[in-house]
Structure 1
Amino acid sequence: MNSNIVPQNKHDLDACINLQAISNSELPLYFEQLLPWLQDINWPVALPVAEKLSQANDDLVPFINEILLGNDDIWKCNVIEYLIMKLKPQVMESALVEVVKIINSPTQSEIDEGVNLIAREAVFYYSHCVSSVSRRSLTSSPHTTHHALFIDRKCNGRFISRNEY
C-alpha cells in the first residue's frame, strides 16, 4: 500500500492530493486508515478524505456501519453528514439501513449530540435526491437487495425498511 495517500497528520494536504489521484478500485484498501480522519471535521484533511471516500461502492458500507454502531457520536454525525449524504444513491441507500435504526431508537447520547436529527436529515435528503423513477427501479426489481426506505403512517411517521413492512 502506498502510505503517501493516507494523511500522516491533520495538516497533510499533500497526501490528500495523492489520494484524489488513486482509482476508486484501489480505495477499499485504505478505508480503515482514512475513516478516522472524519472524527473531527475541522481537521484540514477531513473534507478531502470524505470527498474521495464518497466515490466508493457498497464495500464501504460495513465500515460505515461499524462507526454507526460505535460510541463516538461526533464521528457518527460527521460520517452521516459529510460521507453518507455524498454517496452514490445506491450506496447511500445501503448505508441508510443503520441510520434508520438511529432515527427509530436513538441512545440518550445520540439525542444529546443530535445524531438522530442528522440521521433524519440524511433520510429526507435521500428521498429527495433519488427521483421516483430511480427509486421505483431500485425497489421493484425482484433481483435487488436494496432496502426501500419510507414512512409508514401507521407507525406514527417512524422510518421503516421494506423488510419491516
Structure 2
Amino acid sequence: MNNEDLIPRDKEDLDFIERLKNKSIIEIKEIIPRLLVWLQDGNWPQATPIMKYFQPHVNEIDSELVEILKGNDPSWKYHIINGLLKNSPAKLNENLIAVLRELAQNPSIADQEEEINLLSEEVLNDLE
C-alpha cells in the first residue's frame, strides 16, 4: 500500500481513515498538505477524522499550518484553529503561537468577518 491510499478519493470515501490511523506522522509527511485540504470545510465527512489524527501532531506539522493561517481562506483558517489548534493535547510551539497572535492583533477584513481574530484570542487565552 502506498500513501496515495491514505488520501480520500472523494467526499464519500471514509475507508482511508483506518489506513491513516495505522501510519505515523513521519510516514505520511509528503501527503500532509493534501490531507489538510480536506479541512477547508469542516462539514465534509473526512474533516473530523483527519482533525483527530492531526490534533496530537500540530507542532510536527506547524509549517503547513502556518502557511494556511497566513493565507487568504478564512474558512480554512477557522477549521484549522477551531478543529486542530484549540483541541490539540500538545502545547503549541512558538511558530503557531506567533501566527495566532498576528491573527488576533492584525486580522484582515475577511478574517474579522469569520471572527478569526476572536477565535485566535480564545486559543491564546486558553494557553495561559
Q: Which has the higher contact order (CA 8 A, sep 6+)?
A: 2
Residues 65-144 of structure 1 aligned to structure 2 (within 5 Å): 65-90=66-91, 92-94=92-94, 95-127=96-128
**How far apart in 2 are the matches of 1:72 and 1:57?**
19
Q: Does the 8 Å CA contact 2:6/2:20 hold for their aligned counterparts?
A: yes
Equivalent residue letter for 2:72: N
Cα contact 1:28–1:59 (8 A) shared by 2: no
Aligned length: 126
Would the alpha carbon gap of residues 9 and 84 (structure 1) be closer, same or farther in structure 2, given more than 3 Å must change?
same
Q: In the alignment, what sits opposite 2:12?
A: 11
Rg (Cα) greater in structure: 1
Cross-structure match for 1:61: 62
CA–CA distance in structure 2, aligned partners of residues 78 and 48 of structure 1 = 13
Report the CA distance between 1:57 and its aligned residue.
Answer: 5.5
Quick check: 1:27–1:53 contact (8 Å CA) kept in 2? no
Contact 2:11 2:45 in 1 (8 A): yes
Task: State the Cα deviation string for residues 63-107 of structure 1 (Å, max 9, x = none).
Answer: 1111111110000000001011233433x2331210110111111
Taking structure 1 as the reference length, the TM-score comes to 0.70
For structure 2, list consecutive stretches of 5 or more residues without a partner in the other structure: none
TM-score by length of 2: 0.89
Note the alpha carbon deviations across 1:26-62, whole angstroms, 9 max, x for none: 1322211111000000000001011111232633111
Which residue number in structure 1 is paired with residue 22 of structure 2?
A: 21
Identity of aligned residues (%): 28
**Alpha-carbon RMSD:** 1.5
Gaps of 5+ in 1: 128-165
Q: What secondary structure sits across from 1:83 in the alignment?
A: helix
Amino acid in the other structure paired with 1:55 = P
